[in-house]
Amino acid sequence: MEFKHISVLLDEVIDNLNIKPSGIYVDGTLGGGGHSLEIAKRLTDNGRLIGIDQDSDAIAAASERLKSYLDRVTIVKSNYQNIDIVLKDLGIENVDGILLDLGVSSYQLDNSERGFTYREDVPLDMRMDKEQTKTAADIVNDYSENELYHIIRDYGEEGFAKNIAKHIVQERQKKRIETTGELNEIIKASIPMKVRKMSGHPSKKTYQAIRIELNRELEVLENSLDKMIDLLNPGGRLCVITFHSLEDRIVKNIFRRNMNPCICPPEFPVCTCGRVSKGKIVTRKPIVPGEAEILINSRAKSSKLRVFEKV
């Protein structure tokens, strides 16, 4: 299956990165290389782009897409949380821009072998990095009922989390839950018919929760943004595209904290904590896709772009 992924908010990202032709840029979520291709086109021979991804299928697809620009592109198989190590290994101290597109690629969602989909009956997998041993099936079968409840409630924002967790535990006592089809039936039985009729696919929120837990998505994001801001040159920008409220809240809060880091009590006449602002939030409100983009790519609908500029 061809690695397909339509780059979300492409023009908006390119505009907000303020690309300098001889600058150094990092695409921390390389994917199929759509954003990276547009960055690479704007660089001269003195410019450099580092693409990072943990998915070997994505790396193969992006390498092919970027083959005309490999003189200025370096592709590294890693997780973006290791950006400081990746740059150090390449002898790079600071960069002029960093991009994160936190969406799951269309290829990962649509390729049934990857086990992300709830639309086909396939083995439960959901690993972003296929070299990782733990899969979605391990979470479904090995986590306690309480752990499952908290994950589905907190990461999936699912109103029937308690019931779903209870039904999963009941069913796995009969036999191990191995496939998306088996899990779908359990989730369906946990949600009242009238609720199922009024909303989208009943498995959507639970699958999101399991995927986030398995790939440590929120933890990785939370552990990465501060050091990304520190790695920027003055005037450098960090652009982050999120796809659900949990990610967006983390980005918004970390950007705010880096712009206004003071922890002095409000009644203090002057700041005594010594914490200095690292920059400014460029996007007071997040940038969202227009109607035309959503018509072409319905998966862009929930995307939001936030931008931070280093001082």
Read out DSSP for 134-173? --HHHHHHHS-HHHHHHHHHHHH--TTHHHHHHHHHHHHT
pLDDT at 108: 64
Mean pLDDT, rounded, of the chain: 94
Percent of the chain scoring above 90 in pLDDT: 85
Tell me the C-alpha distance between 83 and 105, whole Å: 20
Give pLDDT tens digits for 190-228: 999 999 888 888 999 999 999 999 999 999 999 999 999
Domain ranges of the chain: 10-107+219-310, 114-216
Q: Give yes or no for a contact between 142 and 134, defined as CB atoms under 8 angstroms apart.
A: no
Phi and psi of 225, rounded to 5°? -65, -40
| Coil, helix or strand at residue 233 | strand
Indicate the fold that domain 114-216 takes in CATH.
Answer: DNA polymerase; domain 1 (1.10.150)
- Reported as a pLDDT band with limits 50, 70 and 90, residue 117 is confident
Looking from the CA of 134 toward its CB, the CA atoms found within 13 Å total: 12
DSSP letter at 251? Answer: H
Give pLDDT tens digits for 49-99: 999 999 998 899 999 999 999 999 999 999 999 999 999 999 999 999 999
CATH superfamily of domain region 10-107+219-310:
Vaccinia Virus protein VP39 (3.40.50.150)
Can you read off the two tokens belonging to residue 240?
């982050």
Give pLDDT tens digits for 152-198: 999 999 999 999 999 999 999 999 999 999 999 999 999 999 998 88
- Reported as a pLDDT band with limits 50, 70 and 90, residue 103 is confident
Tell me the C-alpha distance between 119 and 111, whole Å: 11
